[in-house]
């Protein structure tokens, strides 16, 4: 099994697919082998016990013939696809933010590093090599609780510092982190799984100093080029753009690439979320818009075979720019051309 995309990289589909259950159907196996998506994401529906998850992961990698990215949302706290009795319970990130505020930086960082190292070890034992964490969104009073205790807190400097600890622990263990939800989901008054949040009460200067700041700070660190980032399906009035960040070429370039300075792999949040309902008649059309806007990868989580077949038929092959950024990323994603 190859560990790199150096050969045949032009045939990779810039999309993350998902399976419907604990094992693959014949239709899924056939499609995955033919379409050659960049990788796959696992959910609770795919995870029953360690032997089963490991077998599923191995099957997925065999179908595409390489040690491809296998993603999961295992943040700690309430967002955890792997649960007891087979896997451990990990604290929500707010716990460590509060520890930092109460007991100081070193105590919080040491405890967080130990917890995230243990979490990453559970993933690598299964062959999972990419985690959609940490959350760098700020905690705002009065905001929707979709972020809530998933956030380290409301201080951008503390969020950035603790986020860097998580990224370092993951990378050292062999797991690629995905920071989210760039450029900041914390002010949302609604859940983007259900509708499109629109931030109205913040100036561009406010956004720079607060919401964007953790992403900017982490982008300047040694791990900044090694991580992936996931976009927020949100609009921000201060940007003067009616399109959600995930679909806006102007905002991705101006905010994520230039203002924040993030130069790593950019993956959009799930294309099946209702926040994007008004922006395409199909998941495939929204995926094309996200890739055209500047996302390197499209993410589809629902696992419907017919939708993945349409994605496979309509999406372009992966871009050279995406391959270069993947080549700089940590972990298995060494795909430099």
Catalytic residue chosen out of the listed positions 73, 211, 269, 296? 269
Residue 111 has a pLDDT of 98
pLDDT at residue 320, as a whole number:
94
224 pLDDT higher than 90: yes
Helical H segments across the chain, by residue range: 26-35, 50-64, 93-103, 105-124, 156-173, 204-209, 213-219, 249-251, 283-293, 305-314, 320-328
Among 151, 156, 167, 186, which residue's Cα sits nearest to residue 78?
A: 151
Q: Which residues contact 72 (CB under 8 A, 6 or more apart)?
A: 41, 42, 43, 81, 82, 123, 128, 130, 131, 132
- Per residue in 167-218, pLDDT tens? 999 999 999 999 999 999 999 989 899 999 999 999 999 999 999 999 999 9
- Does any domain span residue 3? no
The single residue listed with the structure tokens 């860097």 is 164
Tell me, yes or no, whether 112 lies in a domain.
Answer: yes
Q: What pLDDT is stored for residue 10 in this prediction?
A: 65
Average pLDDT over all residues of the chain: 94
Q: Is residue 297 part of a domain?
A: yes
299, 256 Cβ separation under 8 angstroms: no
Number of domains present in the structure of the chain: 1
Residue 31 lies in a domain: yes
List the Cα angle 264/296/119 in 5-degree steps.
Answer: 60
Note the pLDDT of residue 330.
80
Residue 93 lies in a domain: yes
57 in a structural domain: yes
Identify the active-site residue in 110, 145, 193, 277. Answer: 193
| pLDDT at 9 (0 to 100) | 61
Find the CATH number of the domain harbouring 267: 3.20.20.300
The pLDDT value recorded for residue 6 is 43
Residue range 129-143: mean pLDDT, rounded: 97
Q: Is residue 336 part of a domain?
A: no
Q: What is the pLDDT of residue 7?
A: 43
Query: What pTM, to 2 d.p., does this model score?
Result: 0.95
Domain residues for 21? Answer: 9-328
- 296 catalytic? Reply is no
pLDDT of residue 333 exceeding 70, the answer is no
Determine, yes or no, domain membership for 334: no
Which tens digits make up the pLDDT trace of 7-60?
Answer: 446 689 999 999 999 999 999 999 999 999 999 999 999 999 999 999 999 999
Decide if 59 is catalytic: no
């Amino acid at each position: 099994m190859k560990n790199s995309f150096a050969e045949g990289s032009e045939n990779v589909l810039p999309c993350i697919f998902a399976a419907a259950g604990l094992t693959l159907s014949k239709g899924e196996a056939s499609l995955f082998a033919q379409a050659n998506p960049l990788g796959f994401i696992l959910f609770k529906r795919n995870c029953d016990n360690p032997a089963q998850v490991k077998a599923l992961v191995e099957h997925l990698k065999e179908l595409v013939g390489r040690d491809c990215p296998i993603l999961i949302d295992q943040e700690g706290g309430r967002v955890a696809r792997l649960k007891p009795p087979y896997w451990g319970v990990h604290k929500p990130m707010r716990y460590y933010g509060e520890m930092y505020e109460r007991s100081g930086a070193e105590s919080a960082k040491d405890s967080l590093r130990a917890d995230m190292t243990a979490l990453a070890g559970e993933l690598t034992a299964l062959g999972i090599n990419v985690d959609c964490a940490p959350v760098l969104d700020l905690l705002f009073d009065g905001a929707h609780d979709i972020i809530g205790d998933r956030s380290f807190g409301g201080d951008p400097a503390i969020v950035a510092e603790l986020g860097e600890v998580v990224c370092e622990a993951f990378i050292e263990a062999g797991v690629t982190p995905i920071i989210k939800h760039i450029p900041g989901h914390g002010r949302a008054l609604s859940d983007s799984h259900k509708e499109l949040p629109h931030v109205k009460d913040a100036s561009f200067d406010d956004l720079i100093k607060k919401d964007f700041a953790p992403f900017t700070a982490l982008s300047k660190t040694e791990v900044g080029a090694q991580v992936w980032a996931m976009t927020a399906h949100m609009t921000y009035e201060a940007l003067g753009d009616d399109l959600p960040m995930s679909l806006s070429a102007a905002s991705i370039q101006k905010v994520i690439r230039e203002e924040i300075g993030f130069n790593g792999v950019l993956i959009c949040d799930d294309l099946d979320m209702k926040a994007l309902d008004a922006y395409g008649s199909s998941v495939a059309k929204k995926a094309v818009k996200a890739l055209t806007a500047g996302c390197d990868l499209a993410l589809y989580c629902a696992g419907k075979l017919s939708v993945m077949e349409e994605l496979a038929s309509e999406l372009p092959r992966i871009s050279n720019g995406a391959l270069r950024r993947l080549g700089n990323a940590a972990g298995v994603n060494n795909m430099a051309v």
